[in-house]
Chains A and B, each alone.
Chain A
Amino acid sequence: MVTAPDSTLVPEANDISDIRADNTGNFTFPERNKFDSGFGITSKTIDYISDVKGDPDWVREFRHKALKVFQDKPMPTHWATKDLENIHFDEFRYYLSDGQKPKRSWDDVPEDVKKTFDRLGIPEQERKFLAGVEAQYDSEAAYSNIKAAVAEQGVIFVNSSEGLKEHPEIFKKWFGKVIPTGDNKFSALNSAVFSGGSFIYVPPGVKVKHPLQAYFRINSEQFGQFERTLIICDEGAEVMYMEGCTAPKFETATLHSAVVELVALKGAKIQYVTVQNWSSNVFNLVTKRGIAMEDAEVRWIDCNIGSRLTMKYPGVIMKGKRARGEVISIALANSGQHQDTGAKMVHAADDTTSNVISKSISIGEGRATYRGLVHIPKHLKGCKNNTECDALLINTNSRTDTYPAISVRGNQHSTQHEASVSQVSADQIFYLMQRGLSEAEAMSLSVNGFINDLVKEFPMEYSVELKRLIDLEMEDSVG
């Protein structure tokens, strides 16, 4: 859940004299970091992180190699926005933590961290409908818990540092295999300095009834968060994972660059739900990809609100016969924001199908971009792709772009791509205002109508929250 302000949870006044707050997650606690890698990134930074985290040697080596790749790779500005040039890697801190182990009980979590997540409604939701929760504060998990019943089924749900130390036999097999270090500049950066994120393993045949949730919070200024998530769903297993992200609004830029790898073995199903509500100075450059074996299914359900620049193209490699990939994406770009999102569908076996539905809304001077890739190589048969992207422009200065790439080989496949751009029509607004709604309410209702069929794909609690966030973003957009 992104934010859930609740007056009963707001700490008393003397407690929060140094907290800035509003109702969109924009509040901070003072930093009290025991470990701080300092500004900039060199091989010393890598050693510092490895020392603090007590990495095994193979991880330390992996990090150093990745740093080299990161330094050698140019910024992808030949196709991506020039705004990337405003990222000054020397002005970020790459690792911050208080040196505490993740707590299994909310009572043990340090007071200010607990208050952060209290304000965002995390423990409350855990009780209500989650099978497990992990809460990450800057570089490390502050809290991590899984319900006993789920753990008894053999489900592993820990942070990535614990995962690589305690379950190396599963972790090592898939880590960095779906997204190799050199995939892009930011996956290389993540591979060099990753910390936190979830490691999930679901044993064969286990269907986790309730969602597992991770919550990512940036609390410190000029900081880069680099979580690394690896989810492995064994044969016939099913899991739904949800992540929420927020950061307070600092004066300076913040960097979030995650790598998420999903592995759905034969007949497995993974649903990965993201609702991000970054503040508008976060560079959010995330690499997410899943691999689906025979009869498996990987679904990305992605909602991007906030951030200065988001570049995120969740992908599915359909490696086994009849595998299925899906990306459902909602992006909302307000003034000063650029949502550059999309999907990559790589068909690598017969009879695989993929579906991409993307809806974007540009408000004020916001810019929403769809970038897609569909690849169907030769010697396959029966592959199908459907791509739909619709854009809604709210104001005169709003901007939207669409850049798909569809490559099909052979005559036994079919693909279709459609995109449309439209506005909320004057008729629609007039109709609603006739019935007593204000112009802003009418606009908000129309926008919610535009994305309604996608919102239904989110779990109920998320979709309620999503609508509320959209209403918040729509404030002041008309008139």
Chain B
Amino acid sequence: MPTLAPVPQTSSMPSEAAPVAAPPAGLEIIAPTRNQSAMPAWFLEKSAAAWSNFQSLPVPGLKDEAWRYSNAKKIALSTYHPATAANEHIEAEAVAASSGLAETAARFVFVNDRLVVAETDRLPAGVICLPFEEALQSQAALLQQHFMQREMTLGSAKFAALHLAHVRAGLVILVPKGIAIEQPIEVFHWIAAEHTAIFPHTLIVTEDNADVTVVDHYRTLKAETGLSLAVADLVAGKGSRIRYIACQELGDKAQAMHLSSTVTARDAQVKNFQVQLGAEFSRSESVSDLLGEGSHSEMLSVALPTGDQIVDQRTLQNHKAPHATSDLLYKNALYGKSRSIFSGLITVDKEAHFTDAYQTCRNLLNSNEAEATSLPGLEINADQVKCSHGATSGPISDEELFYLKARGITDGESRKLIVEGFLADALAKLGNGPIADMVVSRIHEKLILAV
């Protein structure tokens, strides 16, 4: 990695960009700036430690198993700088473009890691739902217990350290015992200037039998480049439910690294749905630690890479308790010269008897230049387990195409229908309702362009 990369100048910035001079680029050398007086000492300490950790960790090399078939150097850190506040016009434009769900329990918009909109008045009493910086002040205990407490094992320790060093935006949610929030909490994260990096964080903690749904959107405005280095921690208490949907629709030249981890207590149920539509390179790492007996984790993903896009997916289903179940379904429909890399692992610990764990990755190759790589893995140390994985890669079958065309449907329309059908079983896991409708419409928008 070059230690001093050339600094991109402001010439490419849109005309209505903030009148301040653009800060120099080079995430790997620019230390994060923290408002020392506004942040608690424990966090400043942790953040500073993360920064030195980031600097000392090497960029994962090509021989690193966690980066097999991929390349960590694709995250061009030297071309990005931490986000600075956008001007009012851009913020207003972002707010106007933050179209998602019609009904929400709470709604937040962040532009360049700055909070612009916070609607929380529809939340049930007792629920804590705060922007990250505010939570730092009032929720020290909660954050100290759950904020980035787990080691990143899937290859992005260096990037997680960078996230921790810079994080300032995102949400901290605590749903107390027995409270079910009916409507989802929706969050928009915008990158609104070229060469800008954002570090959104989502922490969701549910107490016993609580229930919550959170939707994160990641988008770019008036910028083609940008880096979203996001971390989501889902901590599900006994018998609680968390549904988390991350919808990544960054610009075509942006890069995304989204790290999410799930911990389940007894009988908890967590669904982690990753929608990957944008960015030239997007890597997602999702870990589920099944710590409680009878808990259930669903890991789902839909990706539709086109052009030169690369989708890099790493997953771990880590069974540590008996009678727990996990189900992974990743669907990739590839176009153009795009590539997908799926690397998943199920580990079943010695004590985790009666585990049921499934892992399925399916790739539909719609062009002769697309490439799909699957690395489905299993490590089983217990018995009385039911585990299986499956991976397939193939084109649209001629028979299916013929069937539709014989009924007078055009070639293009037939292919679109088949791809929709291919993605349908993953999308069906979202159930019927506004969230499923929203995700489906975002996917269809891209699908129409792709076909």
Contact = CB atoms under 8 A, between A and B. Distances in A.
B54 to A, nearest CB: 22
Contacts of A415: 391-394
Interface stretch (B30-38, B123-131, B307-315, B379-387): B379-387
A412 B398 CA distance: 10
A202 B97 CA distance: 72
A222 interface: no
A416 B390 contact: yes
Contacts of B396: 411
Contacts of B209: none
Interface string B341-381: 00000000010010000000001011111111111111111
B327 to A, nearest CB: 15
Contact of B380 (A395, A399, A412): A399
Interface stretch (A147-155, A314-322, A419-427): A419-427
A393 B383 contact: yes
B65 interface: yes
B384 A423 contact: yes
B153 interface: no
Given A78-B65, A408-B365, A411-B367, A402 B377 contact: yes
A400 B387 CA distance: 11
Contact of B365 (A399, A400, A411, A417): A411
Nearest to B384: A423
Contacts of B373: 405-408
Contact of B391 (A394, A416, A423): A416
Classify the interface of chain A: helix, strand, loop or mixed. Answer: strand
Given A395-B383, A407-B373, A408-B365, A400 B390 contact: no
Q: Which of A378, A406, A423 lies at the interface centre, i.e. has the most chain B CB atoms within 10 A of its CB?
A: A406
B10 interface: no
Nearest to A422: B386
A379 B370 CA distance: 11
Interface string A141-185: 000000000000000000000000000000000000000000000
A413 interface: yes
A397 interface: yes
Interface string B385-428: 11111111111100000000000000000000000000000000
B383 A423 contact: yes
A420 to B, nearest CB: 4
B380 A421 contact: yes
B393 to A, nearest CB: 4
Contacts of B368: 378-379, 410-412
B388 A401 contact: no
Interface residues of B, number: 40
Contacts of B374: 404-407, 417
B400 to A, nearest CB: 13
Interface string B146-168: 00000000000000000000000
Nearest to A367: B381
A406 B377 contact: no
Contacts of A391: 378, 380
A403 B375 contact: yes
A418 interface: yes
Given A407-B69, A412-B368, A398 B392 contact: no
A421 B378 CA distance: 9
A406 B377 CA distance: 11
A58 interface: no
Q: Which of B379, B389, B391 lies at the interface centre, i.e. has the most chain A CB atoms within 10 A of its CB?
A: B391
Contacts of A404: 374-377, 391
B304 to A, nearest CB: 15
A390 to B, nearest CB: 9
Contact of B378 (A79, A397, A407, A419): A419
B63 interface: yes
Given A401-B377, A407-B373, A418 B388 contact: yes
Contacts of B382: 396
B385 A413 contact: no
B376 A414 contact: no
A409 interface: yes
A339 to B, nearest CB: 14
B429 interface: no
Contacts of A399: 379-381
Interface in B28-77: 63-65, 68-69
Contact of A413 (B65, B379, B395): B395
B387 A420 contact: yes
Nearest to A417: B391
A177 B395 CA distance: 34
Contact of A409 (B366, B371, B390): B371
Contact of A78 (B63, B375, B385): B63
A79 B380 CA distance: 17
A397 B349 CA distance: 10
Contact of A398 (B363, B378, B383, B393): B383
B387 to A, nearest CB: 4
A403 B380 CA distance: 12
B389 A419 contact: yes
A408 B374 CA distance: 9
Contacts of B366: 411
Contacts of A394: 383
A313 B69 CA distance: 20
B392 A416 contact: yes
A103 B74 CA distance: 61
Contacts of A418: 388-390
B66 to A, nearest CB: 10
Given A418-B388, A419-B389, A420-B388, A397 B395 contact: no
Nearest to A76: B63
B314 to A, nearest CB: 13
Contacts of A419: 376, 378, 388-390
Contacts of A409: 365, 369-372
A405 B353 CA distance: 27
Given A421-B378, A422-B386, A423-B383, A412 B371 contact: no
Contacts of A393: 380, 383, 385
Given A404-B375, A405-B373, 14 more contacts: A393-B380, A398-B383, A399-B380, A400-B379, A405-B69, A405-B374, A406-B373, A408-B365, A409-B369, A409-B370, A410-B365, A414-B392, A414-B394, A423-B385
10 contacts: A391-B380, A404-B374, A404-B376, A407-B371, A407-B372, A408-B372, A409-B372, A411-B395, A414-B393, A414-B394
The 10 closest A-B pairs by CB, nearest first: A414-B394, A411-B395, A409-B371, A408-B393, A402-B378, A411-B365, A407-B373, A410-B368, A420-B388, A421-B387
